[in-house]
Amino acid sequence: MPAIKNKDSFSRKPPTWCPGCGLYGILEAMKRAAVSLQLDPASMVIVTGIGCHGRFPNYFLSYGFHGLHGRVVPVASGIKLVNPELKVIGLSGDGDAYSIGLNHLLHAARRNLSLLILVVNNRVFALTQGQASPTSPRGFISISTPQGKVEPPLDGLKLALGAGATFIARGFSGEVDHLAFLIERGLNHRGFALIDVLSPCVTYNKINTYDWYKKHIEILNQHKSMPEDLNQAWSWLNREDKFILGVLYSATRETLEEMILPDKRKTIAGLELRPEVEKVMALMEKFK
């Protein structure tokens, strides 16, 4: 019988993020969710991009893949497709997921492969020292926008909804319990799940602070049923005064792995490989 998991079961080493960084809240929420679902660290894989968020697997104990900037989703997809028994979590940044990596995100949403993608949306390129990101607010002053950012912020959730994601949610790293709830839901979702996590960067984003968010979020009360209404989700996402936090849309449709994998009982990763001489020879015969 496997030992009962507690939060320490998921600790690798102490984080070196700036004190106060929103990533601490996300780490905590992820641990709570993992404990609550009694996940086995060896059955989880966390794929991260490049950015402050990318260090996550250094601190959270599970299998980890720290890949390229913007390519969290394809790496995670490859893992999931060959081993759907793994819980595959992609942890990305607003730069990683919504600037360089946006294309992959939306195609994964369309495919409805069962991945949980968490975007640590600190609304800035932190690791590269503070440039504006697609989600930075208008007027945001940064080293790359000394006169203030001119374009309106991008909302990854709106795009994922349009692309056909079957689960979209928004959390806040200052609301750890709520976030843990969202992560649990996301982990249990059959299909593609995207959680955008508003997360303060205390070093490079002096606008979207914990205090600022407290004034600009509204948390849905939804411990019972999940909303499955595209129009409702769309209107929540178009609210200009507040960020609506919670599961904004959740639906079921056949997942990619259900549709394309040849064998429900065997993972590709678990196949025992043999030369299969006869089968290959039979195919070769066809060229006679």
Stretch that binds a copy of itself, among 27-35, 144-152, 172-180, 197-205 (CB under 8 A): 144-152
249, 164 contact by CB (below 8 A): no
> Position of tokens 């909303």?
227
Residue 46 pairs with which residues in a beta bridge? 64, 89
Q: How far is the CB of 96 from ligand TPP (least distance, A)?
A: 3
| Partner from ligand SF4, ligand TPP, Mg ion, none contacting 21, C-beta within 5 to 8 A by type | ligand SF4
CA dihedral 56, 11, 34, 110 (to 10 degrees): 20
- Which residue from 122, 173, 205, 250 is in contact with Mg ion, where contact means CB under 5 A? 122
Please report how close the Cβ of residue 171 comes to another protein at its closest, in angstroms: 23
* By the rule CB under 8 A, 261 interacts with another protein: yes
Q: Pick from ligand SF4, Mg ion, another protein, none: which does 77 bind, CB < 5 to 8 A by kind?
A: another protein
Q: How far is the CB of 144 from ligand TPP (least distance, A)?
A: 10
- In angstroms, the CA 211 to CA 174 distance is 10
- CA atoms of 158 and 249, how far apart (whole Å): 11
Quick one: which of 180, 177, 166 has its CA closest to 233? 166
- Whether 212 and 239 have beta carbons less than 8 Å apart is answered as no
Q: Which of 190, 242, 240 is nearest to 220 (CA)?
A: 242
**Which entry of another protein, a copy of itself, ligand SF4, none binds 122, CB below 5 to 8 A by partner kind?**
ligand SF4
Q: Toward a copy of itself, which CB reaches closer, 66 or 107?
A: 107
- Shortest distance (Å) from residue 214 CB to ligand TPP: 21
* CA-wise closest residue to 192 among 63, 96, 80, 94: 80
Residues 147, 57: Cα–Cα separation, whole Å: 36
Alpha helix ranges (H) inside 197-265 = 210-216, 230-237, 256-260
Q: Give the count of residues interacting with a copy of itself (CB under 8 A).
A: 33
Rule CB under 8 A: which of 160-189 touch a copy of itself?
A: 161-164
Site string for Mg ion, 66-105 (x = CB under 5 A): ---------------------------xx-----------
**Closest separation between CB of residue 231 and Mg ion, Å?**
30
From 24-32, 48-56, 243-251, 252-260, span contacting a copy of itself (CB under 8 A): 252-260
Quote the Cα angle for 163-167-172, to 5°.
Answer: 110
Of residues 71 and 170, the one with the C-beta less far from another protein: 71
Cβ at position 135, least distance to ligand TPP in Å: 8
DSSP summary character for residue 264? S
Choosing among ligand SF4, a copy of itself, another protein, none, which partner's interface includes residue 276 (Cβ < 5 to 8 Å by kind)?
Answer: another protein
Q: What angle do CA 18, 131, 135 make, to 5 degrees?
A: 90
Min dist. Cβ of residue 70 to ligand TPP (A)? 7
Among 6, 7, 38, 129, binds another protein (CB under 8 A): 129
Name which of 118, 217, 117, 102 is nearest 159 in CA terms.
102
